[in-house]
Amino acid sequence: MTNSTIAITSQLQRYLIEHTVREPAILAALRQLTGKMPQASMQIAPEQGQFMQLLVRLIGARRCLEVGTFTGYSALCVALAMPRDGELIACDVSLEWTQIARRFWREAGVDARIDLRIAPALATLDTLLQGGGSSFDFAFIDADKENYLEYYERVIDLLRPGGLLVVDNALWGGAVADAAVQDAETNAIRALNDRAHHDERVDLSLVPIGDGLLLARKRG
């Protein structure tokens, strides 16, 4: 019998946020604006953003990569945690959503650290691989689920030894553990989790923060 992870009730979640989250005003403003959009569920939670900032600082990340930017909250979290000479390449296909991101990046004073690439992410990743690869310290994937495995394989190649990949939605609202759920997105996330589990190139942990964060550290 295995030990169970504590259940996160709404009361406990509120306590966690009140006693640990230190969200700057600029991040709170972006989160609140995005929260009014029909696609608001695509935005990461503030405790998740803060956890990612901690990871970026722990590994001293200077060169970062993001697949799926939306309105820019996660990119802003990462950029704020990087040194002034850090660089984040952010991949997205939406000019509409990333216009919001650009505005908040400028207001936060980190826009010079973020290189936004508007194109299908697979094409951007392939271009980066052709340019040399194995140079990124940190990467975050939070995009279309059916391409998760393709993103994973490319990003692992782009990470330096010791670099860290973080993948969002790895628990998918619990659907990954429900055999009755067989839609394409859920199966794609299952395939990614299975691939990472058996991937000898990485050290692995799946953390129940937000909708589940898969952490994969590239071995040396």
pLDDT digits (tens, 9 = 90+) for 103-147: 999 999 999 999 999 999 999 999 999 998 789 999 999 999 999
Is residue 84 a part of any domain in this protein? yes
- For residue 199, the enclosing domain spans 10-218
The enclosing domain of 80 has a CATH number of 3.40.50.150
pTM here?
Answer: 0.96
Is residue 3 a part of any domain in this protein? no
Checking if the pLDDT of 1 tops 60, the result is no
Q: What is the pLDDT of residues 160-177, one digit of tens each?
A: 999 999 999 999 999 999
CA 111/CA 215 separation, integer angstroms = 26
Q: How far is CA 170 from CA 59, 80, 104, 161, in A?
A: 22, 25, 27, 23
The predicted structure's pLDDT at residue 167: 98
Mean pLDDT of 27-44: 97
